[in-house]
Structure 1
Amino acid sequence: MDPDPLAELYPPFGLSVTCGGLTLRVLRDADLPAYAELISARLFADADAPHVFAWWDRDPAVRQREALQFLWSRRARLGPDAWELPFGVFEGDRLIGCQDLCARDFARRRVVSSGSYLRLDAQGRGVGTLMRQLILVLAFDHLGALRAESSAAVGNAASLAVSRHCGYRPDGTRVELNGERRLELQRVAATPETVVRPAEPVVVRGLTTELRRQLGADEVL
């Protein structure tokens, strides 16, 4: 494989996780037009459901601009004390969703959290489960995490079902604001012992020594 000059300069750009026809890789600027189209696509069957992201109500042009600013800001802040990796979810060459992986003080806490969304026309065929399984394999089997946390709105049965299929277990509740709405969240947590790994092999590429150091994961395995 030819050297990737951009990944050599910024190691997260070289990170990818693949299983079958699905690939998670950190979004680059070349992906941003597809990313802008993704967040303008239909993501929710019921746009008025309590769990719909507050940013969904914004004007589409504002939503796109702020989404790009969000990605750039996360790149600038990535370091051992706190990091967020924004993965695009690609089915072949098509961007169909996003899957984030985040941590604070990972070297000492060894805890990650994640969030995700998938365009509506890609839902209902197991992709949501697989992409979350892939991020857990990366966290547990390659970064040395000991706990993974996530959450979904109480009553969001579809999201909580996916969590169960990935090996998450209930972990209490909390209340947050989603825009102006009060939202009760069901917290869930997974460990290396509970995680459900994909049936097919998972291939992780680009997890270099430099990237491990950048994530605070160079001494945890």
Structure 2
Amino acid sequence: MRHWPLLALRLTTPRLELRLPGLDDLDALADRAAEGVHDSGEMPFGEPWTDAPPHERARSTVQVHFRQWGTWSPGHWACSFVTVWESQVVGVQEMRAVDFAVTREVATGSWLGRRFHGKGIGTEMRAAVLHLAFAGLGARYARSSAFADNAASLAVSRKLGYREDGIGVFNRRGEAVVQQRVRLSRDEWRTPDGFEIHNLAPCLPLFGVAEGITDAGGAP
């Protein structure tokens, strides 16, 4: 699509493909949300959207992508990729930024269908968007956060080299909980082998990037 080149943007790793979803992908992603994202005793999200009934989780999963596309601007964007593993849509990996042209900083968030946990997919898909951020878009920093009891997310951050960046206290289901912030700099990032970016060049203005970065590790 000439006027929305983001639909052709793809990230590939040794096991995964990340892409902006088509309608069939959104349907599959909604199924993953309806099936369950985490154990019932957990709540890894600041907005407890997974407390909703399965059909509402499915519908809201589709709607959030429509909202992101409809409000996208170079100064304020959220890019949510579906993650495909063994030909299945298994979850979503988001990267977002405000005033990226100035700040050169992105933030990330993600979720996986519960039955796909424990396979290393979460680490690999976050590494894919970090490669896009640092090598493709020229970001200086990437940040993330997780509640202190979300051991899996914090383990991914440690594995990828993030450093602790302070804490915050948030209201989660009516209780105060600690959130750990983490940050990774471009200088500390090392792209694993086999990570590539495809069809990036036409998308750069939509990310607030004036021209391509030469070390993208794949055809821009």
Structure-1-length-normalised TM-score? 0.89
Q: Tell me the equivalent position of 1:206.
A: 199
Q: Tell me the equivalent position of 1:194.
A: 188
2:113 maps to which of 81, 97, 119: 119
Q: Tell me the equivalent position of 1:63.
A: 57
1:160 maps to which of 154, 157, 163: 154
3-state SS of the aligned residue for 1:174? strand
Given that residues 35 and 54 in structure 2 are in contact (C-alpha distance below 8 angstroms), is that contact kept between their aligned partners in structure 1? no
Given that residues 23 and 92 in structure 1 are in contact (C-alpha distance below 8 angstroms), is that contact kept between their aligned partners in structure 2? no
Of stretches 124-133 and 145-154 in structure 1, the one that deviates more from structure 2 is 124-133
Shift of the alpha carbon at 1:119? 1.7
Shift of the alpha carbon at 1:34? 0.3
> In the alignment, is residue 88 of structure 1 matched against residue 66 of structure 2?
no
Of stretches 120-129 and 85-94 in structure 1, the one that deviates more from structure 2 is 120-129
> In the alignment, is residue 30 of structure 1 matched against residue 24 of structure 2?
yes
> In the alignment, is residue 21 of structure 1 matched against residue 8 of structure 2?
no
Q: Tell me the equivalent position of 1:183.
A: 177
3-state SS of the aligned residue for 2:170? strand
- The AA in structure 1 aligned to 2:80 is P
Given that residues 137 and 212 in structure 2 are in contact (C-alpha distance below 8 angstroms), is that contact kept between their aligned partners in structure 1? yes
- The AA in structure 1 aligned to 2:90 is I
Runs of 4+ residues over 6 Å off in structure 1: none
Shift of the alpha carbon at 1:172? 0.3
Provide the rounded CA distance (Å) in 2 between the counterparts of 1:50 and 1:69: 21
Q: Tell me the equivalent position of 1:9.
A: 3
1:104 maps to which of 98, 102, 109: 98
- The AA in structure 1 aligned to 2:26 is L
Change (3 A) 1:129 1:175: same
Q: Tell me the equivalent position of 1:48.
A: 41
Given that residues 112 and 147 in structure 1 are in contact (C-alpha distance below 8 angstroms), is that contact kept between their aligned partners in structure 2? yes
Shift of the alpha carbon at 1:220? 8.0
Percent of residue pairs identical: 33
- The AA in structure 1 aligned to 2:72 is L
Provide the rounded CA distance (Å) in 1 between the counterparts of 2:83 and 2:195: 14
- Structure 1, unmatched stretches of 5+, are 1-5
Shift of the alpha carbon at 1:74? 0.3
3-state SS of the aligned residue for 2:210? coil
* 1:22-75 per-position Cα deviation (integer Å, ceiling 9, x unaligned): 11111122312101101112321x322242561111122222222222110100
Shift of the alpha carbon at 1:168? 0.9
Structure-2-length-normalised TM-score? 0.90
- Structure 2, unmatched stretches of 5+, are 214-220
Number of aligned residue pairs: give it: 212
RMSD: 1.7
3-state SS of the aligned residue for 1:204? strand
Change (3 A) 1:191 1:13: same
Q: Tell me the equivalent position of 1:3.
A: none
